[in-house]
Structure 1
């Protein structure tokens, strides 16, 4: 299985592979030792080698090295809905894992690397245009399960989010400021488990890290979140990755893809504390 990764910032070869592909450190070491990695078409076995913005890295990965393959929940001539595993970037990893003989496959939205669950991909330009427009018009309802530290009131929560590109972190404010974008997140308590709560979360807007940053701002960070979470509780419950699943998608008001309207797609994944 061949992957192509474009470098967006200076880093090492090992770090680039680790942050973009669902591979263990041991598997990355083996691929480097076997000279299965190329930078700009030239083989390189040095994991500490520098790669800079614009570099293309190619790597051949045996399927046995992939910890978990994505599953296809639904597919027709226009759309594919997949269930994304943990530690898998949408691009290039998920798309490459799913592409096979499909001539065109492009994700219409994103999930964080360590967020699992449903993601929608288009199989042609027409579908891509309609689905991305549906997201802009809020005609694609996305629901999540989130296991959080503490609790938050049921209802619609409005705030403002700033994406700090340099620090790769999002900052939330209760008031509008220059550079901040409005975020709206709806929450519903499903179950209280001591100091933890299982929430259903609906994204009204869809900003980078919105659920994770917004819930942390509201005093209920997602368990296992190493960026916005509670380190003490993460260690107590031995969670290294955010306990967040994109579990349900509902389409509405589509035109060319009207056969999908009001259809509900659900992931089989469950959060286990």
Structure 2
């Protein structure tokens, strides 16, 4: 593989494929960026193969193929964002990778920077009338994949058909203690009190039914790393369910944690699989968990 030295335009770089391989590994070799950054470039449609745009990370490349990577205005604007990066964008939706510490949207302090305010400013650079709409939220200290709509109509389509639109939501959680079972399922009914804390009940108490499935990835002396899949999307569901099984999320004092090894909540939204509200195509967005999650659970 080699760079064809001069880009075909001032905002593109062209690479020639010298041996058969899939696209994502090729891009990781071609440009000096992190795996998540390269996935973002690919998801935003900045990559073409032989002149054809593609977002398919496992697309097979053959010797002689021509791969072009656009460094367009969207990429420039993305670099100016703080606390998040754009994983995918089209006329209907924006998918971001949110950092821990960034609010989804403002609560009390309207001046505080949020994912919503950052994206609002970003889309208005192209057109002052452009807007974004929150489809679902992540807690301030939870990082990872988050979905926004670009029109109120698209937001309504996604929220009104959430169970059909969202095929999978996956998380990684660093939890306290040794989780002995390799896999498990937690089913309970959740209710929120006036103090905004959610409580779990093993039987139907009129609350919302919540189902969380987990798989143990690593187990150390003090912490375990779990892969979690939500069958329902209730407020604080994972945090409540982890407390319920005696393994609260690290750093989650509100729901039973006594330690804070990461100086943040040990929860990361790894995977979101959706049916696109307009094209009806299935898209999967993946954000790798922070390396600290693995280090602390060894």
Name the TM-score class by shorter chain.
0.5 to 0.7
Please list the CA deviations of residues 63-105 of structure 1 after superposition, one character each: whole Å capped at 9, or x if unmatched.
Answer: xxx9942100111111100111222211131111112234120
Q: CA deviation at 1:156?
A: 2.6
2:93 maps to what in 1?
A: 79
Pairwise mapping of residues 66-215 of structure 1 onto structure 2 (< 5 A)? 68-92=82-106, 93-99=114-120, 100-102=122-124, 103-137=130-164, 139-150=166-177, 151=179, 153=181, 154-164=183-193, 166-178=194-206, 180-215=207-242
Q: CA deviation at 1:255?
A: 5.6
1:220 maps to what in 2?
A: 247
Distance 1:152-1:89 versus aligned 2 partners, 3 A rule? farther
Checking the alignment, whether the CA contact within 8 Å between 1:147 and 1:271 is kept in structure 2 is no
**How many residue pairs are counted as aligned between the two chains?**
199
Distance in 1, Cα, partners of 2:216 & 2:202:
22
Q: CA deviation at 1:258?
A: 1.2
Checking the alignment, whether the CA contact within 8 Å between 2:190 and 2:200 is kept in structure 1 is yes
Distance in 1, Cα, partners of 2:157 & 2:201:
32
Query: Runs of 5+ in structure 1 lacking a partner?
Result: 1-65
Checking the alignment, whether the CA contact within 8 Å between 1:155 and 1:188 is kept in structure 2 is yes
Distance 1:255-1:80 versus aligned 2 partners, 3 A rule? closer
Higher mean alpha-carbon deviation, 95-104 vs 243-252, is at 95-104
Distance in 1, Cα, partners of 2:200 & 2:291:
26
Distance in 1, Cα, partners of 2:202 & 2:249:
19
Distance in 1, Cα, partners of 2:166 & 2:257:
33
Larger Rg: 2
Distance in 1, Cα, partners of 2:291 & 2:241:
20
Q: CA deviation at 1:241?
A: 2.1
Partner SS, residue 253 of structure 2? coil
TM-score (norm 2): 0.62
Distance in 1, Cα, partners of 2:142 & 2:105:
14
Pairwise mapping of residues 23-62 of structure 1 onto structure 2 (< 5 A)? none
Query: Runs of 5+ in structure 2 lacking a partner?
Result: 1-79, 107-113, 125-129
Distance in 1, Cα, partners of 2:274 & 2:131:
21
1:47 maps to what in 2?
A: none
Pairwise mapping of residues 251-262 of structure 1 onto structure 2 (< 5 A)? 251-252=274-275, 254=276, 256-259=278-281, 261=282
Distance 1:72-1:255 versus aligned 2 partners, 3 A rule? closer
Distance in 2, Cα, partners of 1:109 & 1:131:
10
Distance in 2, Cα, partners of 1:83 & 1:203:
19
Checking the alignment, whether the CA contact within 8 Å between 2:165 and 2:277 is kept in structure 1 is no
Aligned-residue Cα RMSD (Å) equals 2.1
Distance in 2, Cα, partners of 1:269 & 1:257:
29
Runs (4 or more) in structure 1 with deviation over 4 Å come to none
